[in-house]
A and B are shown apart, each in its own frame.
Chain A
Amino acid sequence: MSIHDSTGRPIDRVLERLDNVRQHNGYFMACCPAHDDHEPSLSVDEGDDGRVLLHCFAGCAFENIVAAIDLEPKDLFVEAKLGGGGRSNPSKNGATVQHPPDKPHGDAENTVAGADATPDNSATPPDPSEYPHLRVVGGSEAQDCTLDAYAEYTGLSVDFLKGLGLKEIHYIDQKAVKMPYFDATGSEEICVRFRVSLAGTPKVKTRKGDKHKLYGLWRIEEARKAGYAILVEGESDAHVGWHHGLSVIGVPGATGFQSDWVAELDGVEKIYAVVEPDEGGETFWQRLAASDLRERLYRVDLDGVKDLRDLHQQIASGFKQRLRDACRRGRHWLDIAEGEAHERAREAWSRCEDLARSENILERFYETLKASGVAGERHTAMILYLALTSRRLDRPVSVAVKGPSSGGKSYLVERVLDYFPQSACYALTAMSEKTLAYSEEPIKHRFLVLYEAHGMNGDFQTYLIRSLLSEGRLRYETIEKTSKGLRPRLIEREGPTGLIVTTTMEKLHPENETRMLSLSVTDTREQTGQVLLALAEEELAEPDLEPWVALQEWIEAGARRVTIPFAKVLAEKVPPVAVRLRRDFNAVLSLIRASAILHQVSRDHDDRGRIVAEVEDYRMVRELVANLVAEGVDATVSATVRATVQAVRKLVDDQEGDPVSLGPIAEELELDKSAASRRLRTAIGKGFVKNLEDRKGKPGRYVPGDPMPDDVVVLPEPEEVLQALQCCSVVGGDKHPPSPSEDWGEV
């Protein structure tokens, strides 16, 4: 609203619109209306010629401050003061503040300070160097966007647009159309966007500090009653739709849809998305299809027409019928997704068929990885590969890769990830406090990869990750600032999601530790030698990753339900040695399922379409994780800990019972001191070694601790499982009758 014709000093007009105004020595401080300000950070002063000088110490732009108090730049100048000084750059408190002169509009009333004030639509453009705030579009200055021009552009009447709350304003030094976004009641302005150009870039700007919303929230109740809403890109299509009496909701920009807006559309039975025939249109569709709207989402293509505005311009009289027909032809998200998945699978299959038919894909993976220069780490690499494949399951297997700094943990994970499409994982390198909660990246059937998991130390991340690992989804309650004050907000991100972390810590938070398989990278001198040799090798084969990535894309599009006919036999044969085994046993089953998914071409499928896992899958998995599982439940002692304890014992015996320090232990183990120290900490943690030195900073004095237990075989041999399968049956689960030796009757 221009109040240029009102009486009084310009500074009074400004001050009366500001909150928390305080007078200082010759100037004022107030809360800045362009950002969420609680402590006055806006300086307001009066220039020698009566103009208002504004400066926000938080950095808000002049034009945004003026727009936020519903004034125009010219309102900050003394009207009658013509000729002189209008384009100066007054400085306030050391900061340069650009006060744009008013643009003349053809009559004396609307001309302002400035010796060279020109009439509106003057052919002489202002000098950009004098107007650093002036946006130059495509080499020419920004054009006015008047309400008349906008009406012509949309083919709608000015009166109709005014009825929607649109009005013409000055935005910086040009005319623009202000488009208010109202809340669901239609009474409160919750966001303002400005149409600043009809053809240039950007076309629309948002008032600083405003959060984007759906355009037309006050019409959603109408859409609920109608049983449908048509989602369109931008405001102009919404205006056209409303003109025709349709339930149209605008999304601010092709990439603008936010997943938490889904709740706004609750109760609307069908959602039709008008997809424009360009890249932006596809992005618009993809964002909607990735949201929880998808179950009721239909894709509408306007054959030969770009958008609703174009359709209206072409056939205003047949508009409604044409759009209704297009909606009727709209394809449901699921049909499109299935068709796309089928096409993706077909295309991926053509690139991975040979690989998919391999009998032992896992072994082939490791051979390829090794040939490309990844030294050692056979088990860790293969478990990582299987774990990542388990993302397709309801319970993916999460993994912590532990090892000393520069031990090659992250390198190994990165190389394994090379064999997967981007859709398989989402890597976080430096997880900020809320990244995981607020990111829009989909995490369903995907892995989060967290390099150097120091971020997991914090309670917040620990909580988030635990909720992902245990509940299969992320729930986070927070308080959000809204126009109605602070409001609780529940963020929910759907899983299931797997997690891979690399860390130098021996132990993660106990709740996370027990939900992950812990793998340690090899820390021996031999391994270091292999790594150095690999680095020196100049003739390394560049792996052909295409079939590998294609294999995983094909897997993503295919069956993911697996039955393990021998699961009960396995469960019966596993000694119940620890509570934790329940979780580890689930991880073993998930890895078996992942192996079956990987080798599904050579596996049977049952009459319900499930892949039938074979004992061969168990054999592969057991080879990789038997020791890990046994160590996890303390049924066995790992080879590295056992060697460490034996080294301590030998050295102590050699010294007739005297404690031994780290150096000789490292020497005995042929490790560097840091690797030996890590192993000692683990052995001390398990009680097999004691450090008699309790003073901080003093060298350790190590002696043997508790005796190591005898090994218990936790995961049975595959042959035992096969044998059991051949001779007995399991409750409700298997094809074989009970053993005749058992006391069973038959009906």
Chain B
Amino acid sequence: MLLGELLYRISEQGVTLRCGDTDERLHYQPKDALDPDLLEEMRVHKMEIIQILREDEEMLRTGIIQSERQVVDLAREYFGFDDKGGVA
């Protein structure tokens, strides 16, 4: 599963993700909201998810864009693009 799709499905389940600043643990809530497949995918993409969380946190804190992905996300939000790049 692609990372974007995974994050989309996680958010659809109403799950909140958290990570530590220095350790490499990824926490989610509610504990029983994720099915085993999604949980497994999360394990596969754990480090990438942690990186994204940290980047987003840093951007929120400093107002400075941290990655290309955030540029795309911001552009999507601004122009109202859908996932395929068209205007929603």
Contacts and interface: CB of A to CB of B under 8 A. Distances in A.
Interface of A: 565, 567, 729-738, 742-747
A690 B78 CA distance: 49
Interface string B7-28: 0000000001111111101111
Contacts of B28: 744-747
A69 B56 CA distance: 66
Contacts of A743: 29-31
Contact of B21 (A733, A742, A745, A747): A733
Nearest to B28: A745
A732 B25 contact: no
Interface in B32-79: 32, 34, 39, 42-43, 46, 53-54, 56-57, 61
Q: Which range contains the number of B residues in contact with the other chain? A: 20 to 34
Contacts of A567: 61
Closest 10 CB pairs of A and B: A732-B57, A745-B31, A732-B53, A747-B26, A744-B27, A744-B29, A731-B18, A745-B28, A743-B31, A747-B42
Contacts of B29: 738, 742-745
Secondary structure of the A contact surface, majority rule: loop
A611 to B, nearest CB: 14
Given A732-B19, A732-B21, A745 B34 contact: yes
Interface of B: 16-23, 25-32, 34, 39, 42-43, 46, 53-54, 56-57, 61
Nearest to A608: B58
B61 to A, nearest CB: 7
Nearest to B23: A735
Nearest to B61: A567
A582 to B, nearest CB: 14
Contacts of A746: 25-28
13 contacts: A731-B19, A732-B54, A732-B56, A733-B61, A735-B21, A735-B23, A736-B20, A737-B27, A738-B27, A743-B31, A746-B26, A746-B27, A747-B27
A730 B16 CA distance: 12
Contacts, number: 63
A348 B22 CA distance: 34
Contact of A729 (B27, B34, B56): B27
Given A732-B56, A746-B25, A737 B43 contact: no
Secondary structure of the B contact surface, majority rule: mixed
Most buried by A among B20, B29, B42, B56: B20
A744 B31 contact: yes
B43 A747 contact: yes
A729 B53 CA distance: 14
Contacts of B54: 732
A735 B20 CA distance: 5
Contacts of A737: 20, 23, 25, 27
Most buried by B among A731, A734, A738: A731
A744 B25 CA distance: 12
Given A567-B61, A737-B25, A743-B31, 18 more contacts: A729-B20, A731-B53, A731-B57, A732-B53, A733-B57, A733-B61, A735-B21, A735-B23, A737-B23, A737-B27, A738-B27, A743-B30, A744-B28, A745-B29, A746-B27, A747-B25, A747-B39, A747-B46
Nearest to B22: A735
A735 B27 CA distance: 13
Contacts of A565: 21
A641 to B, nearest CB: 35
A746 B23 CA distance: 12
Contacts of A744: 18, 27-29, 31
A26 B3 CA distance: 93
A732 B18 contact: yes
Contacts of B25: 737, 746-747
Contacts of B21: 565, 732-735
Contacts of A742: 29
B28 to A, nearest CB: 5
Nearest to B19: A732
A158 B54 CA distance: 69
